[in-house]
Amino acid sequence: MAKIVDIINKAETTHSLTKEEIVDLLRCDEYDQQLFLAADRVRSQYVGDQVHLRGLIEFSNICQQNCFYCGLRKENTKVKRYKLTPDTIIDLADKAKSYNYKTVVLQSGESQSYTVADMQYIIRSIKALGLAITLSLGEKSREEYQIYKEAGADRYLLRIETTNSRIYKELHPGMSFENRLRCLQDLKDLGYELGTGCLVGLPNQTMECLADDILFFKSLDADMIGLGPFIPNADTPLAQERGGTFNTSIKVMAITRLLLPDANIPATTAMETLNKNGRIIALQSGANVVMPNVTEGEYRKMYMLYPGKICVNDTPKHCVGCITGKIQGIGRHISTEFGFRQSKKLTNNLQEYAEKERNM
Ligand code: SAM
Ligand code: SF4
Ligand code: FES
Q: Return the ligand 1 atom nearest residue 198 CA.
A: 16
Which residues are annotated binding-site positions for (3R)-3-methyl-D-ornithine? 136
* pLDDT recorded at residue 355: 61
The phi, psi pair for 56, rounded to 5°, reads -90, 120
Classify 254 as helix, strand or coil.
Answer: helix
According to DSSP, the residues that pair with 108 across neighbouring strands are 60
- Specify the amino acid at residue 308: G
Residues 6+ apart with CB under 8 A from 277: none
Predicted structure pTM score: 0.95
Asked whether the beta carbons of 70 and 304 are under 8 A apart, the reply is no
DSSP state of 72: T
- Cα-based distances in Å from 112 to 108, 116, 119, 156, 161: 11, 9, 10, 17, 22
Strands (E), 172-298: 193-196, 199-200, 224-225, 228-229, 289-290
The phi, psi pair for 290, rounded to 5°, reads -135, 145
Asked whether the beta carbons of 128 and 120 are under 8 A apart, the reply is no
**Pairwise CA distance, residues 99 & 54, whole Å:** 11
Question: How far does the centroid of ligand 3 lie from the alpha carbon of residue 189, in Å?
Answer: 36
What's the pLDDT tens digit per position in 314-354? Answer: 999 999 999 999 999 999 999 999 999 977 554 444 445 45
Q: Return the ligand 1 atom nearest residue 233 CA.
A: 23
Nearest CA to ligand 1 atom 5: 138
Fold of the domain built from segment(s) 18-358: TIM Barrel (3.20.20)
Exposure string of 109-124, with b = 16+ CB inside 10 Å and e = fewer, is bbbeebeeeebbbbbe
**Pairwise CA distance, residues 162 & 144, whole Å:** 24
Question: How far does the centroid of ligand 1 lie from the alpha carbon of residue 3, in Å?
Answer: 36
What's the pLDDT tens digit per position in 43-63? Answer: 999 999 999 999 999 999 999
Series of mean pLDDT values for 10-residue runs along the chain (360 residues): 91 98 98 98 98 98 98 98 98 97 98 98 98 98 98 98 98 98 98 98 98 98 98 98 98 98 98 98 98 95 95 94 97 97 57 55
**Pairwise CA distance, residues 262 & 43, whole Å:** 7
Classify 353 as helix, strand or coil.
Answer: helix
CB atoms within 10 A of CB 289: 25
* pLDDT recorded at residue 343: 72
Asked whether the beta carbons of 248 and 291 are under 8 A apart, the reply is no
**Pairwise CA distance, residues 279 & 327, whole Å:** 9
Q: Count, in order, helices (H) and strands (E) of the chain.
A: 16, 10
User: First-to-last CA distance in the chain?
Assistant: 50
Q: Which residues line ligand 2 (CB under 6 A)?
A: 63, 65, 67, 70, 72-73, 109-110, 138
Task: Give the closest residue to 54 by CA, choosing from 333, 266, 330.
Answer: 266
Question: How far does the centroid of ligand 3 lie from the alpha carbon of residue 280, in Å?
Answer: 12
Task: Give the closest residue to 182 by CA, choosing from 166, 198, 160.
Answer: 160
Helix (H) or strand (E) holding 133: strand 132-136
Written as one string, the DSSP assignment of 289-349 is EE--B---THHHHH--SSTT-TTTTS-HHHHHHHHHHHHHHTT-EE--S----HHHHHSTT
Which residues are annotated binding-site positions for S-adenosyl-L-methionine? 161, 180
* pLDDT recorded at residue 346: 44
Helix (H) or strand (E) holding 105: strand 103-108
